[in-house]
C-alpha cells in the first residue's frame, strides 16, 4: 500500500461546461505527469473522437483540446493509499475540493470515468456539490472487457453540453 498525493492542477476555465473526474492518477500518469497518461488508456482517443477532432498527443495539445471543447478534467481524490493502479484497493481517501472549479466555471454536468470514481464522488463530493454524477465506463487498459465501440457510445452523452 502506497500513500499517494494528487499533484496535477485541474484543467478548466470559466467556459468549461462538463467536469470529467477520474479517481486518482495511475502510476503511469504520475510518471508522465498528466491525466490518463498510460499509453493504452483510451480517454483522450474516445473523447477526441466524440468531439470529432484529431487525437491530441502532447500535454499542451490535450489541455488546448479540453478547453476548446469546454471539458474540465480533474480527479475525485486529492490523496489516498493505493496498491499500484488498483482502484479497489483505495484506503483513507481524501477528496478534492471541487468548489474551486464549480465556483469559477459554467459546469452543467459531472461525469466520472469509472465506477470507483463514481462511488467516491457520490460519497465524498455529492453532499457538497449537490450535482449528480453520470458514471461512464473506465477508459483504463484494465477495463478491457468494454470495447472501444461501447466506450464511444457511452461517451457520446457529453455532446449535449459541449456542442
Rounded to the nearest 5°, which phi and psi values hold at 11? -100, 120
pLDDT band at 84 (very low <50, low <70, confident <90, very high): confident
Please say if the pLDDT value at position 163 is more than 80: no
pLDDT band at 85 (very low <50, low <70, confident <90, very high): confident
Nearest C-alpha neighbor of 121 from the set 12, 4, 20:
20
| Dist CA 13 CA 5 (whole Å) | 23
| Dist CA 108 CA 8 (whole Å) | 23
| Dist CA 81 CA 90 (whole Å) | 6
DSSP string of 47-112, one letter each residue? HHHHTT-PPP-SHHHHHHHHHHTTEEEEESEEEEEEETTEEEEEEEEEE--THHHHTTS---EEEE
Nearest C-alpha neighbor of 137 from the set 157, 107, 160:
157
Q: In whole numbers, what is the pLDDT of the chain averaged over residues?
A: 95
Please say if the pLDDT value at position 127 is more than 90: yes
| Dist CA 46 CA 151 (whole Å) | 7
CATH of the domain at 106: 3.40.470.10
The whole domain housing 114 covers: 2-162
* pTM for the predicted model, two decimal places: 0.96
Q: How far is CA 46 from CA 108, 109, 125, in A?
A: 21, 18, 26
Say what the pLDDT of residue 16 is.
98
Give pLDDT tens digits for 38-55.
Answer: 999 999 999 999 999 999
Decide: 114 and 85 in contact? Cβ < 8 Å. Answer: no
Give pLDDT tens digits for 92-113.
Answer: 999 999 998 999 999 999 999 9
Say what the pLDDT of residue 144 is.
84
Most distant pair of Cα atoms in the chain: their distance = 42
pLDDT band at 73 (very low <50, low <70, confident <90, very high): very high
Say how many domains are in the chain: 1
Amino acid at each position: 500500500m502506497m500513500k499517494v498525493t494528487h499533484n496535477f492542477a485541474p484543467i478548466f476555465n470559466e467556459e468549461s461546461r462538463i467536469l470529467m473526474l477520474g479517481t486518482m492518477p495511475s502510476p503511469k500518469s504520475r510518471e508522465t505527469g498528466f491525466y490518463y497518461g498510460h499509453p493504452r488508456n483510451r480517454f483522450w482517443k474516445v473523447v477526441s473522437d466524440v468531439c470529432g477532432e484529431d487525437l491530441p498527443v502532447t500535454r499542451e495539445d490535450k489541455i488546448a483540446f479540453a478547453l476548446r471543447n469546454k471539458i474540465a478534467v480533474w480527479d475525485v481524490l486529492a490523496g489516498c493509499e493505493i496498491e499500484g493502479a488498483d482502484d479497489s484497493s483505495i484506503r483513507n481517501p481524501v477528496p478534492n475540493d471541487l468548489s474551486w472549479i464549480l465556483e469559477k466555471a459554467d459546469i452543467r454536468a459531472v461525469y466520472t470515468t469509472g465506477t470507483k470514481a463514481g462511488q467516491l464522488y457520490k460519497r465524498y463530493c455529492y453532499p457538497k456539490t449537490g450535482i449528480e454524477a453520470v458514471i461512464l465506463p473506465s477508459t483504463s487498459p484494465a477495463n478491457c472487457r468494454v470495447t472501444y465501440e461501447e466506450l464511444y457510445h457511452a461517451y457520446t452523452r457529453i455532446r449535449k453540453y459541449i456542442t
